[in-house]
């Protein structure tokens, strides 16, 4: 192991990824807590859709900078883009429809499940990538990043849950942990890749 001291420097391309997930998390929080009124909530949805473009470009640039990506990583990146795109669309559509439907309407069941489907797809894609990836270091990077994301989610859930038990924090919907995981995963991955330099 080398003992070179390295200071952390966030690559610019990662800022787009974090900005995208932060906007996505804000959109999810708004949909959950009804924080913003028209037209601000629609502007937030539009921002998430617009941020998809630099998000896709920066992801592609990062892959090219590191040499030709492995076929498994190529497929995973494509699946993530498809999954994230589907998630944005499904969230935007389903919450608009949800507000138009009466409480307890039968259509709420497929609507709720449809919202979860892109996230389930992303979890499946991650598992599939770990199986297909033949490059052990890339597998190691993915595993470590996911562990950082998991650790962040466990800490957040534990601390928030404890505060909520004592009436010190408002109730948090459990699925908000998914965007929290994505942000922590992204930061963890950026940190791990920066250490390589």
Smaller CB distance to other proteins: residue 1 or 168? Answer: 1
Chosen residue from 29, 36, 49, 70 binding other proteins by CB under 8 A: 70
Q: How far is the CB of 66 from other proteins (least distance, A)?
A: 5
- Report, in Å, the least distance between residue 89 CB and other proteins: 32
- N-to-C CA span, the chain: 14
Q: Would you say the C-alpha torsion 52, 53, 54, 59 has a positive or negative sign?
A: positive
For other proteins, the closer CB: 38 or 196 = 196
Query: What DSSP line would sit under 144-195, residue for residue?
Result: HHHHHHHHHHHHHHHHHHHHHHTTSS----GGGHHHHHHHHHHHHHHHHHHH
With tokens 């562990």, the residue in question is: 147
- Is 66 one of the binding residues for other proteins (CB under 8 A)? yes
Verify binding: residue 165, other proteins, rule CB under 8 A.
no
Task: Answer whether 180's CB lies under 8 Å from 152's CB.
Answer: yes
Four-point Cα dihedral 87, 93, 98, 101, nearest 10: -150
**What is the rounded radius of gyration, in angstroms, for the C-alpha atoms of the chain?**
18
Footprint of other proteins on 2-21 (CB under 8 A) = 2, 4
Total residues in contact with other proteins, by rule CB under 8 A: 17
Scanning residues 97 to 156, which ones bind other proteins (CB under 8 A)? Answer: 134-138, 140-141
- The minimum distance between CB 137 and other proteins, in angstroms, equals 4
Nearer to other proteins, 60 or 90 (CB): 60
Residues that bind other proteins (CB under 8 A): 1-2, 4, 66-70, 134-138, 140-141, 195-196
């Amino acid at each position: 192991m080398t003992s070179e001291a390295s200071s952390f420097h966030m690559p610019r391309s990662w800022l787009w990824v974090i900005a995208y997930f932060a906007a996505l998390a804000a959109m999810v929080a708004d949909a959950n807590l009804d924080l913003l009124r028209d037209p601000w909530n629609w502007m937030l949805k539009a921002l998430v859709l617009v941020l998809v473009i630099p998000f896709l470009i920066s992801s592609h640039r990062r892959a090219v900078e590191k040499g030709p990506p492995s076929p498994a990583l190529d497929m995973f990146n494509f699946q993530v883009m498809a999954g994230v795109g589907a998630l944005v669309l499904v969230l935007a559509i389903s919450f608009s429809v949800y507000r138009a439907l009466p409480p307890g309407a039968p259509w709420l069941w497929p609507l709720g499940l449809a919202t979860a489907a892109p996230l389930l797809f992303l979890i499946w894609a991650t598992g599939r990538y770990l199986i297909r990836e033949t490059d052990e270091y890339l597998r190691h990077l993915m595993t470590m990043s996911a562990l950082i994301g998991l650790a962040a989610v466990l800490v957040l859930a534990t601390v928030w849950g404890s505060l909520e038990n004592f009436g010190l924090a408002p109730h948090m919907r459990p699925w908000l942990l998914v965007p929290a995981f994505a942000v922590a995963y992204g930061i963890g991955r950026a940190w791990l890749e920066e250490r390589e330099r």
